[in-house]
């Protein structure tokens, strides 16, 4: 279901008759049907607990995205890992050391969850809240301001 609906989805998924991003994420979780689906579902629940106003999106041919005043993180699934990539992770405090992937870049950071991993739920929710705060603290880019002028 997720792949079929993607072809007709708009970026926001808000047009009448379109499948909502939340339903597409539900379908992805069900489609996976293994530990990866369970992990993605748990991470999603924690994101919603940390930020009840989070917006769910479906981008880049099937990637769940959580946003609030900008992208917070994406949830990608691979054969051996569920990857939670924070768009501005390099700028976030990570006192619990959750980031364990994409550590060399200047912008993103990621957490790779493997089968059997136990999530430090409070630390993850703190990271989500920090990402939301960071998104809210940044003024629009100069490029965006010049386009609207």
- 105 burial level (CB within 10 Å; 0-12, 13-18, 19+): exposed
Structural domains for the chain: 2-135 (3.90.1150.200)
pLDDT confidence band for 37 (50 / 70 / 90): very high
Helices (H), 51-120: none
- Residues 108-139 have pLDDT tens digits of 999 999 999 999 999 999 999 999 999 998 66
- Residues 53-88 have pLDDT tens digits of 999 999 988 899 999 999 999 999 999 999 999 999
């Amino acid at each position: 279901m997720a792949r079929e609906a993607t072809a007709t989805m708009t970026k926001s998924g808000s047009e009448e008759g379109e499948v909502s991003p939340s339903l597409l994420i539900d379908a992805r979780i069900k489609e996976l049907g293994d530990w990866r689906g369970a992990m993605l579902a748990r991470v999603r629940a924690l994101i919603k607990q940390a930020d009840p106003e989070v917006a769910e999106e479906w981008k880049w041919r099937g990637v769940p995205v959580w946003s609030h005043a900008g992208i917070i993180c994406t949830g990608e699934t691979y054969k051996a890992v569920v990857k939670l990539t924070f768009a501005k992770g390099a700028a976030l405090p990570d006192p619990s050391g959750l980031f364990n992937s994409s550590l060399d870049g200047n912008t993103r950071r990621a957490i790779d969850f493997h089968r059997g991993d136990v999530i430090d739920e409070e630390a993850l929710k703190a990271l989500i809240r920090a990402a939301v705060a960071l998104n809210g603290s940044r003024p629009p880019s100069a490029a965006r301001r010049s386009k609207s002028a």
